[in-house]
Structure formats: structure tokens, C-alpha cells
Amino acid sequence: MLAFIGGTGLTRIDGLVIHQRHALETRFGAPSAPVVEGELNGAPVLFLARHGDPHTRLPHQVNYRANLLALKEAGASAIVAVNAVGGITAATGSLVIPDQIIDYTWGRHSTFFDGADDPLVHVDFSWPFDRALRDRLRIAVEAAKAPWQDGGCYAATQGPRLETAAEIQRLEQDGNSIVGMTGMPEAVLARELGLPYAMLSLVVNPAAGKADREITMAEIEQVLHDGMAGVRRALAALAANQPSP
């Protein structure tokens, strides 16, 4: 079953017909919110609000292991994660389907296999986002008729503060095009669980030093409002065109 993880601006999905809420408890604790099972465009889907519903958890406080394991236990077979990001080279208001990620976070639980009795596991993470799922997501974004960018590198920073202009300059020199705080360890945990994973990132503001004036929260909220409409259309299109089991 296709699963969606919603970030800032997407704690719920319009048009989702809810059948059941799974209040799961995993061996790593409880996820941020119950896993919602329902139908979107007539197709079965799962949904989880990454930061809780309502939004209460900062990026470094999210129990990513519990979130991913809860989705797996609820029947997820693939995951599309939505995030609000800053644009380093990507334009504000556009949707980005990244194909690479660089992890700048620290202190987060980034593996399921760090217990004393767990096996020693190293997963191949050369290409962190599933190619086939990205192909389907591209078609869905095209159908949503939203401005978008195919490919790009997501810089995962620790937060919760935003970056300095100097840090953004370094991230750009490293080859990043967008910056967010939730991409890792979410992506690698999905890989450890064998779940195809792709991102749909909405650029809500220019990154630090990339605008010639101060960006206000009102402007960001407006971009979130307008851009998430395109995200919802894309998710609905993706759900309606799931491959046969």
C-alpha cells in the first residue's frame, strides 16, 4: 500500500476518505501520530503526519524509527515523503523531486540495527531515492500542473534554527539545491526496511542570503498554502495510478 508522510503544511490530506486510525506502538516507541488508513482517489493509502497532528514536534525531536516502522507494520509497500524546504538554487513555489541527499544532522537515531543483539547491517545508499517511484511521482506532478524541478540534492540540516548565509553558501558549494531538516534519517531508515522511498519537496522560501530582503512568515505561509494545493493534486494523481499488486 502506498504511504504518504506529511511535513509542515500537510498534517492532513484533503479528499482522503478515512477508514481506520492505527494507534501503533513499535519497539522504538510511538510514532508522531496514528497511521491513517483510507482511500484517496479510490485507491488505498496510508498517511502519517511527521510532526504530529497538530504539529508539535521539531525536526530533531521526531521519532523517525517509530514513524517508519509503524508505516511498515500498517502495510506500507512504498513511501512518498512531503517536506517544506528552502531554495538554494531551486525557485520559491516550485516542487522538487530530489535524486540525492547529503546528511548534515547529528545525534539522531539513524539505524534500526544499533542494539546489542542486532545484526551488523550496512545498506547501499548510493542512490537514496527509488528510481521507479520517482518516475511515477514525475508523472503525477506533471498531471498536477504545478511548477517543478526534476532532480537536485537535498541538504538535511539539524535545525530547529534556520541556517546562516555562510552555511547556505557552503551547502551550495557542496552541490545542494534545497535545504530541509527532515530528510535524514527518514530516507535511510526506509532503505533499511526495504521500502521504496521518494521525496516531494515544496520550496517555501529562498535560503539564507538568497534574497535581497527579509522574508516574512506571512509570505512563507502564503507559499505553503498555494504550493500544498499542487502537492495534494500530485498525491491524488499518484494514488490513482498505483501499479496493480
With respect to residue 68, please indicate whether it lies within any of the assigned structural domains.
yes
Structure confidence at residue 165 (pLDDT): 94
The Cα–Cα gap between 111 and 68 comes to: 11
- Residue 206 marked as a ligand binder: yes
- Residue 8 marked as a ligand binder: yes
User: How many structural domains are present in the chain?
Assistant: 1
Structure confidence at residue 171 (pLDDT): 98
With respect to residue 245, please indicate whether it lies within any of the assigned structural domains.
no
Identify the CATH number of the domain in which residue 145 sits.
3.40.50.1580
**Mind listing the pLDDT tens digit of every residue in the chain (245 residues)?**
999 998 766 766 777 888 899 898 999 999 999 999 998 888 899 999 998 887 789 999 999 999 999 999 999 999 999 999 999 999 999 999 999 999 999 999 999 988 777 777 889 999 999 999 999 999 999 999 989 999 999 999 999 999 999 999 999 999 999 999 999 999 999 999 999 999 999 999 999 999 887 778 788 888 888 888 899 899 999 998 776 55
Structure confidence at residue 96 (pLDDT): 97
- Residue 60 marked as a ligand binder: no
b/e map of 1-29 (b: 16 or more CB within 10 Å)? ebbbbbbbbbbebeebeeeeebebebebe
With respect to residue 114, please indicate whether it lies within any of the assigned structural domains.
yes
With respect to residue 52, please indicate whether it lies within any of the assigned structural domains.
yes
Structure confidence at residue 41 (pLDDT): 81
DSSP string, 55-95: T---GGG--HHHHHHHHHHHT-SEEEEEEEEEESSSPTT-E
With respect to residue 187, please indicate whether it lies within any of the assigned structural domains.
yes
Structure confidence at residue 110 (pLDDT): 94
Structure confidence at residue 49 (pLDDT): 93
- Residue 26 marked as a ligand binder: no
The range of the structural domain enclosing residue 174 comes to 2-240
